[in-house]
Structures are given as structure tokens and as C-alpha cells.
Chains A and B, each alone.
Chain A
Amino acid sequence: MTRDEIILAVKDIITTIAPDEDLDGLNNTDPLRDQIELDSMDFLDIVMELRKRYGVQVPEEEYGVLNTLDGCADYLLPKLEGQELKMVNA
């Protein structure tokens, strides 16, 4: 997956766990929590969905890297190399 695809993948996961949030205006640099309503339970779900969809394990002490979309992309790029983007809410 490319960086852009990873960002799409994460946004698709957020759509699954928080279907009422409007993700159109999300930027890649500000913390997600500041842009939409996400609490620690939701971040756990992002991690769980990454595992379910792509088999990626994110250890608890590294949850912080998922704070921004850029952070997600940086962290996941090597881990998702060679994987196809799976859109559930396309």
C-alpha cells in the first residue's frame, strides 16, 4: 500500500467505528482527537480493526503513533508493504 492508500485505509476504519463523523475535512497533521470525536475506546478499535483487516499488531505502548493520519502512514508504511487496500465502506 502507498502512503495515500494507508490514509484511506485508516479513514475507512474510522468510518466503520464512528459512522456519524464527517471525515471530509480531516487533515493529516493535526491530532485526530482534535478534529473529530474519538476517545481511547475508539483508538483501541482502530488498532483492533488494523489487526482484523491487515494482520498488523500495534503494541499498546505504540498506540500514540496513531495520533495523526501522518503518524499512521509513517508507522504503517513498512508494516503494510505488499498488502492490498481493503475498503469496507466504499
Chain B
Amino acid sequence: MSNARYDTIIIGAGMSGLAAGIRLAQYDQRVLILEKHYLWGGLNSFYKRAGRRFDVGLHALTNYVPKGTKGAPLSKLLRQLRLRHDDLELAPQSYSEIAFPGTKLRFSNDFELFRSEVHERFPHQIEAFERLVAELDAYDMFSPPDTDISAREVLKDFISEPLLVEMLLCPLCYYGSAREGDVDWYQFAILFKSLFNEGFARPEGGIKPLLDLLIKRFAELGGELRMRTGVDAIVHKDGECQGVRLADGTELEANCVLSSAGWAETMRMTGDELYDTHVNEEEIGKLSFIETIFVMDKTPAQLGHDTTIVFFNDSTEFDYQRPKTLIDPRSGVICCPNNYQAKTPLKDGLYRVTTLANYDRWKELSPEAYSEAKLQSVEAALQTAAPFSFDPRPHEIERDCFTPLTVERFTGKMAGAVYGASRKRLDGRTPLENLHIIGTDQGLLGVTGSMLSGISIANRYALVPN
């Protein structure tokens, strides 16, 4: 190996990798972040097209709390990275809604709106809902259970009205369940708090200014970031991780390696033996999405739509599965970034519509069929989404679409699984000493969650020398 030894090497310059990198560089570690792609951000990246900058994943930064809120995940994150709340320039949402046929539940960054909406629409469930809220308030996020528990089953113990159960599951699945048909109860508790008790905001200018801030901080602290540098293999001996080998054959030594590539993806880098022993292919994420972004000559508000995010479902039952066909247009998410209360309004009107998609069906298409399928899929999605919002097509200036294949190409996530593997590794441990998992497959999701994932695993394994 070369003599350039690092304290810590981090695989991936997404939210978790950058946050972990800042933490370690803050305490004078020699840290290197390796990113395969030519842009940073991972699942929360950005790109330019026809002179416009688009966010890849960002609908909302969840876990939003106002400046000065004590003890909230966002506050902990800011403190750990020595950032000020104002640095993030967060614009809070107007309000969002869960929309099923004939029933809507609005919610905002003030939990009382959601509470009153549930009370009004489901008067027979008031006590049940309040018992659920009390249970979730008391839930200890720092002691995750050892086994997976079905939120669907737990909810049935509290709530006897099936429609309310479905309506609670819909946004929480869409914003972070890697499990088909359900969400793990531990994740449910975290997500409920991050969506309903806390709330949504959008960094002014989208994800790029936030990423720029993280990159700048990391560089100021002496951290090293290499772009377009994929890791070919994780080098190990006698059960101990020793470093990484790059695509060009260079080997880099490190005392510790943190990987945000995903569980199966990371095991693959360690070689066939560990992959075969420790990867259950059933657990590779099955859930992926297709999203179309419309740029419009009018803002959503000008078209009568004030809602920030709509989680819609076209029947009384919510089916969160990998679809059998290319997409499942029966449910989805509509995001209108203009409807955050930004200091500087966005130049164009934007409309994003997201539905579930099947990676395998997209993968088998020829290039011509792929383009055609994108067109047809958005027509199908809008047929369901427009009645819950409006039709963006008459105001369209431009559109762009990403599929599960796009996600896979730019993030390296197998099967374009946005929320990663169905089984999370909450303790971050792997079969190798000094190799740890951060990010999506560790278990905390979203912008805030993934940064906290990087921070907590870095603190636990990489910061304090053994």
C-alpha cells in the first residue's frame, strides 16, 4: 500500500458522508471522501439542464423546527456540525395534505392543524389518535428494537377506522419506508415526528447552497474530497478493514472506513465471500420511483394551488408495493416548491409528481421504448395526480423525468432503491472491524436523518481512537 495513510476514508459525498467528514475533520483527523459521480449530494444531488438547476431528490427537508428549538434532531445536527440555523436559510412550508377520495387531512409545521383535522374528519377516533400521539411522544428513538415490528399492525391496535390507518401510512411510506406494504414501527415513530410534530422546509435555492455550505466547511477543516473516484474494492485482512482500492489500482490505507454506498453495495466491494455470506438478496431494496418535474410559465398559486406537498391515493386502500408494471399511478406525491415561504420567490413555476416504479420493467426496455415509456408514464401519473392538484401541461415550458435507472446510474444504489435495503443496520456494524455503514442503509433517512446517521456513526466508531 502507499504510505498516504488516512484516519478515515468515507465512501460517498452524500449528506451522510459529508456530515461524517465534517465531524472528523473538526477534530483534526486526516479524512478523505471519495465520490464516484462528478457531482456531490448522492440521493440529494442536483443537475443543470437548459440553463436551469434542478434538485434530484429534494421535496422537503423534514424535521424542520424553528431557530432555537431545544433538543430536536435538526438542532442536534446544527450543533454537531457547528452550523447556525440561519446558515441553512430554511423556508417553511405553507401546508401539506394527505388526499384520499372524499377525505383530506391537512398538516403544517404546527402540529395542532393536523390534530384538529384528524379530530374533525374522524370524530370517533379522537381518543384513539390521542393515545397514539402520546405513545409516539414517549417513544425512545435512541433504543431501537432488535426486531422489525409492523407499523400497520401496531396502528390497528390503536385505530379501528381503516381509512385513518391508510392515510397515516401513505405519507410516511412515501417519505421513507424501504419496506413493501408497510413501514417498520421504529421508522414510523421517527417519521411521524419528523413530518407531523416537526415539519417541512426547503433551503432557499434548493439543495445546492446547503451542499456548498457542507463542502466549504469540510474543505476549511482540511478535509480532502476526490470526485469521479470510485472505490473498486475494500481491502481487508483477517477480518479487519485496512483501506480501499480505487478503480485505477491505487490502494489507500485508513484506520477506519465509513461507507454510504449501501449494505449490499458495500459488501460487494469486500469481495464475493463476504457478499455471499452477508447479503440476502431478498433484502435489497425493491422500492423505487419515477418523478417528472414540470417547469411552468405560471406558479402553482396562480393556478389556485397553495399546498406545498400532496400525498395522494385514488382509493380507500393504500398499496405501497413495487408495481407489477412500469409504474403504479394509483398513488403518489405532488410537490410544489414555489409554495414554501421563501424570501426570494422562485423564477419559474415548478410541479413535481412522483409515483412508485418497477426497476426491472424499466431495465428491460430498449432505448426507444424507454423514452416512450417515460412519456406514457407521466400521462398516467397526471391522470390521477391532476384531480388532487391541477394539470401542469398547459403551462409547460420544459419537463424532465427520472426513473429507477437514473437513480441507479447516479447514486450506485442497486435497483435504484431510493430508501435502500428493507433491513437496516442501526448499529452501523459490518462483518469487518473498522468498516461501518452510514446513510440510507444504516437507517436514518431524509436530509436531516442521513446527516445525523453520518454524525452518529462517525462519533461512535471513528472519532474516539481505539
| A interface list, Cβ under 8 A from B | 16-20, 37, 39, 41-42, 44-45, 48, 51-52, 60
Chain B residues with Cβ below 8 Å from A45 are 80
In chain B, what residue has the closest Cβ to A44?
B459
What is the count of residue pairs linking A and B with beta-carbon distances less than 8 angstroms?
27
Please give me the 4 A-B residue pairs with the lowest Cβ-Cβ distance, nearest first. A37-B70, A48-B27, A44-B459, A41-B80
Q: Name the prevailing secondary structure of the A interface residues.
A: helix
Chain A residue contacts of B117, Cβ below 8 A: none
A18 and B79 contacting across the interface, CB-CB below 8 Å: yes
B70's nearest neighbour on chain A, judged by CB, is A37
Q: A37-B70, A41-B79 are in contact. List 12 more A-B contacts (CB 8 A).
A: A16-B82, A17-B79, A20-B68, A37-B71, A39-B76, A41-B76, A41-B80, A41-B455, A44-B459, A51-B27, A52-B27, A60-B464
| Nearest chain A residue, comparing its CB with the CB of B456 | A41
Chain B interface: which size bin? 10 to 19
> Which one, A18, A41, A52, contacts B459 given CB within 8 A?
A41
CA gap between A21 and B44 in the complex, in Å: 32
Which B residues between 403 and 442 are near A, CB-CB below 8 angstroms?
Answer: none
Bound-complex Cα distance A90 to B455 (A): 28
- Encode contact with A along B285-299: 1 for CB under 8 Å, 0 otherwise: 000000000000000
A26 to B70, CA, bound (A): 18
Residue in A39, A41, A42 whose Cβ sees the most chain B Cβ within 10 Å? A41
B13 contacts chain A at the CB level, 8 A cutoff: no
Q: Complex Cα distance A44/B459, Å?
A: 8
List B contacts of A52 (CB < 8 A).
27-28
Q: How far is the CA of A60 from the CA of B464 in the complex (A)?
A: 9
Cβ A48 vs Cβ B463 within 8 A: yes
Question: In whole angstroms, what is the CA distance A19 to B71 when docked?
Answer: 14
A-B contact pairs, 12 of them (CB 8 A): A16-B82, A17-B82, A37-B70, A39-B71, A41-B79, A41-B80, A41-B455, A44-B463, A44-B464, A45-B80, A48-B27, A60-B464
